[in-house]
Every structure is written in structure tokens, then in C-alpha cells.
Chain A
């Protein structure tokens, strides 16, 4: 009997009794969720524009962070380092389009998906080879302390991350809905050949998309790196972004953000309140189980369109 109590009643009682603690956990969850959303945004961008599920987005986050930190360690002032890294990421976008995407232009998505897996490992190896594999501190001038506001402990860095994420979402939403390039991106996503046939310059579009995804990766890399240091595990968060995309749907920018928050908070609460029951550290699989359960109910996620199979 007490097992049922411990699973269904106990945790809620704890939440009610310690609201401030709950708030802190929630804020921690939101912060982690935002991190996931930032990474997920990169996925959505590329999927929306090229129908490719870019598995290498995680490696791009790591690669961009490594480049930035590597430059700063070489004494390059932060602003210049930032500029240089952006340049590097755009160059990377050109290279990816030329070497990987152009030859595979109308292959099935499964082939492109596997190509990005290859890209993921290539970038990891390259990043570590160029900048070394040890963990690097990334300080942004934003002290990583927290302050008390209305009894709740808030961490400055997480707030900065939240602000960046919000700004990025706004920019991207506008970019996709109203700009000329945005509409072209959506057309390309539906059908490469159709887009080519009406004169959309597929190559330039893809370079633009991958560059923007690179920048989003850089932003995520910076935030994530500043919080828990730039190290190899960064590329694993790409896996964590998957459940976020499942919830939010692969093609909607707002969906990515909302999905990220749900997974972030869900994980934290699950870990804190239900974790101890089963020995803790349920963080790394909890997200997937949530996403899985969600998928069985609504295969195309919160905002995604229903995929009808034309016979």
C-alpha cells in the first residue's frame, strides 16, 4: 500500500509543503528546458527547410563552443572571437552543403538522416583534434551566481539564457513567416524538385539555413558551455533534443520551445520527486519515455501537421 502512496500521493504532498523549493526546481527545469529548446531550434530550422533531420546539430553546438573557447584561450578578445566563430560556422555551412547535401539532393530522408550521423562524428573528431578534448571554462562576464528574489534563488546565467532563447525565437518566427527567404525555405522543405522547378535557388537556401542553424548552435553552445563547461557530453544533448522535437513537432519553432520547457521541467520534477523511489538518475531516460507516451497518442506532436499517406 505504501508503494502506491509513495508514487502517487507522497511527491505531491512534498510539493505543496515546500513551495519555494518547488519554485526553485521549476526554475531549474525551465533553465534546462530552454537549453534543450535552443538545440531543438537548430533541428527544426534544418528540418523545416530541407526535410533533413540533422543529427549533427549536437556536434555543431560542441564545435562552435570549442571554437569560441579555443580562440578566447588564445587571447582573442571575446567579441572578435565571437565574430570569427560565426565566420567559421558559415564556412562550415558552405562545406556541408557542398560535400554532403548536394550529392544527396533527392535521396530518401533516411539516407540523409544517416549522413548527418556521419557528419556528427566527423565534427566531434575535428573539434577535439583542433582544440583538444579537455574541459574548458567559458566565462561570459556574466557571473554564475544567483540572487534571491522573493525568496526564490535565481541564477543570473540561466536568466541570460532564457532571454537569449526568447529573442532567438522571436527572430526566427518572423524570419520564417514573413521574409521572402522564409517562404522559400518552407517550399524547399516540402519537395526539393518542386522547389527547384519553380526557380528557388536550392543551394543558396541550404547554405543560409545551415548557417542560421550554426548560429543557433553557437548560442546554445555558449549558454550550455557557460553553465556546465565546454566538454564532450555537449554533443549528447542532441539526443535529448529528440524528445523535445517529438513533443513540439518537427516543423514548428514555437513547438520546439514549448517542447523544451515541458521536457526540462518534467525531467527536473521527475528527478527530484520520483527519482529517489527508484534509485535516482532517471534524468537520462525519463525524457524519452515521456516523448514515447506522447507519440503513441499523437504521432505528429503538438503543432506538427498530420501526415496523410497518399495511396
Chain B
């Protein structure tokens, strides 16, 4: 349970400031060097912001919208709001005005602390529809010097007001913090939700702190960990790893200089505790493969040779079987020649614990990083569970499961195959949305929305989204997400959508990765102009056809899924884009929407034709829309009848 004096994050921060005042709490790469703030400074900054917000009239229960890249100032603003009993509501920094307006209105935020002019402009437009948004505070004054809007002020001015407020109301900050209790609302995280409007999951201090503490104990994390905070602050994962666990364990959070320099900063910091959604692991792998392909023939041969050695050694290690003596020797050599330098180049050399979270990951992708010696483990959880339900324990890692539940968390499989769980981390419900809460929360148990099974070692295995788990016309099980992940392991596939519910066979709409396929085409002298043109090249179809064959071959020996091999596929004429609502901000496929929008394409898959005309509406970055017309080819895939030796 939580000690009474330490049951909210502000109290925790004050304890850190006493116990480890000189430890570095947070760093930010700015003006060329890493500026560091100790826990004492972290609390001092948050205190001044809190007093400033109090001066502006922030009362207990008020909401503060927080928008922008990962910045110390924004983390302090969250803690400051909580200190006054307010509730921070982080938003995705790249969300367009329409989305922001819904969330700010729904959460009735009176205050907003944002990063820079870009976010200020958006919020000023949002304020026309949401009059309750009184105060907007910006951290970076760049370009805002001449703004004269009411209720707009800089962070320094806010802290200045805080100092004056502190003189008039001595002890106000400490009194408000003391009022905080474990079950107060700590934060509202709007889930990107694959269907309909975003839902605001309410999480209490207890939810987050108990989950954080259990995970820290479970994994043996210490106060000397280094974490890179680069994922959107509105994502439950970032909040758990970069805010909750940082406060509980006292380790250091590092904010990159800008979105463009993340990989460079990753190498500079060399974090010891790292987490990323599967698409980041995919992107890094793709960039590694492209750079290796550009190397000289000798170096290329050497790297691929040692990667194969590592894969063999890792497979044996996972199966707890000793690797062949020769392989062990080669692996030792490989560590000096390839794995060590590769990890060092990627900034992963110091990683003790790494998670892949947010979505299911292809086993081959996870296996690749583990074979290099990066201790990546799959983690299962969602916003409604304070991000963590189950973790793979060191030494008990499998490529295709999500490990065992954390202490104090029970997990069971409902009759429909849906995963249900209960525990201290379960959220309080959806903000102002009792129907959705009732749908998801049943007597303490949460409907995860994922279909899964327990394997013999008690590991939970997530197969697919519960509602997406389909059946083919002939009843064979059809897990679209599972198959899509296998397709996405290939560096040439960026996104894939499998269809097949109540259909004779499985079909796939595939998004090629313009970067790697473009590079592949250039090396073969295939000239192409646009993305659409590249996607329709016969050679590219042949390339993807081999990838589909690889997936079909791996589905062959998955027992019940053998029947779900992909029979026909097409390459989409445009990239699926969050601005067109085809995928969410964290790039999860919105199956329902795509089912309607590309119904023509899907029917063509099953009509036996070898091409189909398509006309699709596209929204550009500045909100204007345009139409893309293209002729899309359809190909049969090479499938394998069960029993044929691979």
C-alpha cells in the first residue's frame, strides 16, 4: 500500500528533493549542450509554476491542457497542476485543431501550458470555440513578443507572479500539496481510440504510483537509470516511464533537442532503460539495413554472416538450449566486430532493460534486437491499466508472448477470447462518458478489447484486437493484426491491412516503405516519380510477393492459422496517414474506417480481376484536401498447402 505522507506525485517530488537533492532529475539538450536540473531545482521550478497558476486562480479540480514536445517545463507544469489539486490533460503535439478543440472542450480545461508559438496559434483558434480556456502559458517566447491576446503569458512571467503570490500567501504550496490524497485524479489521458471520438481515461495517483512501484521492484530499476523522453506526452507509456517511474524511482529523464535529432540524442545519452512502440524498432532496423546495404561488399557479407550467427545463438538461448560450440565462439568474435559497435552506434550499448509497448510486435523484429544483446522485452498494457499489465521477466523471455502479469494484477480470458484484467492500476473510468465506462469496466474487471490465450508457461499471448478477430467464410480463425505484424517485419513494408472476415480467403492491402523500396529501386536502376508510381512497378510487386510468401510460410506451422495465409494482395497508391483518419496518431490502423473508404479495393481483391481504378480524397498538412486517382494492380500470392516441407 502507499505510505500516507507519500500518496501523491507532488509529495513524492518533495521527498526526492530532500532525499536526493543533487541527483539529476531531468536534462534537456538545448543550445548545443545538455542542461541538467537536480531534484531540488525540479521541485523549485514546479513550485513557482504552481504558485503562478494559483495566482491566476487555478482551483482544485481545474484542468490544465499540456501540449508540446517533451520539455522539462511541461513536466513541471503537470506536477505543478497536481500540487494544487488540478488535473493535467496532455495532448498530442501534432494533432490538428479539430482534435484539440474536442479534447479541450470535453475536458473543460481553464488553463493551458504549451511549448511554442505553433501550439499557441492552434489554442488561440480553439479558444474561439472553447471560451472556458482562460489562460495560455508558453515556454519558448520565440515569435510571440508582439502577441497582445488576453490571457497569454510567458512561463517566466508566470513564475514571477508565483514569487509575488508566495510572499502574499506563505506556505500556500505546501498546504495545497498536503491536501492531496492517493485517490485524487492525477491525470486524464485521452486515448487515441481506433473508433469514434477520443475517450479521456481518468487515472488516480494510486493507479499510477502502485503500478510504477510494482514494475520498478519487478525489474530492479534504480535511481541511476537514464531514460530518453521522446514519445508524445499524451501517450500513457511516456507518462508511466518518463513521469511516474521517474518520480517513484528518482532516475533521470532526458529530453531530446528536437524531434529531428532524437536518434542522434539517443546515441549521446545512451539510456539504460528504454521503451519504444514497434514502429520505432522497425524504423531503426530499416535504417540499419539500408546503411549496411550501402557498405562495401566485404563489410556487408561480414555483417550479415554475424547477424545470422547471432540469430541462431538467440534462438537456442530462448529455447534454453546451449548454442553450438562453434557459434558461441563466433558470437564472441561478433560481439567485438558487429554487435558491440552496432549497439554503440544506435546508442543502445548501455541498455539494461528495454520494452516494446503499445502494439504487438513481430517475433522476428524482437528476435533481431535480442540477438544483438539488447535486452528488449514485450510489455502489454493500455491507458486504462496505467500502461502496464504484464511484463516479460529477465531470463523468461519469449518472442511471441507478453509475459506474466505484474504483482497485484489478475488476468483471465473471457469466453469470447477477450483478455480481462483487474488490479490497483485499473483506471477510474472515462471522463464524462459513463456509457463507455460501463462498456469497459465491469465490477473492477476491464475489457481489454484484445483477444489472447495463456500458453503452457503461463505467458499471456495476444493474438489480435477482440473485435477484429474474425473468422473466414469457412470458420478458420483470422487474426488480422498478427498477420500484419509478420508482413511489417520486412523493411519494405511500412503498413499492412489484412481483410478476410466472412470472406473465402485472406487478402492484404499493403503500404510499401518509400524509403527502403525507393533505395532498393534506385540500386536496380528502376526509375520512378511519385509514391503511387513506385508502388505500381511490377518489380516492386514481385519484391513484395516474396515477402508475402515468407509470411505465408511462417503461418504454415502455426497450427490453426495455417488456413489464414494471404491469397491475394495489392499495393496501396498512397501512404495511410493520420491526417486522413486512416491510422491513429500512434499509427494504429483504423480498420473500420479503411473498410468503408477502400471497400472498392477490397471487393476487387475478391472479384478475381487483376487491377482496379481508385479515387481517394487526401488532406494535406495545412488542411486543404485534394484527390489522388490511380490504377492499382492486384496479384495472387504464393500460398503453401499444409504438409509441404518448407
Chain A in direct contact with chain B (Cβ < 8 angstroms): no
* Residues of B participating in the A interface, judged by any CB pair closer than 8 Å: none
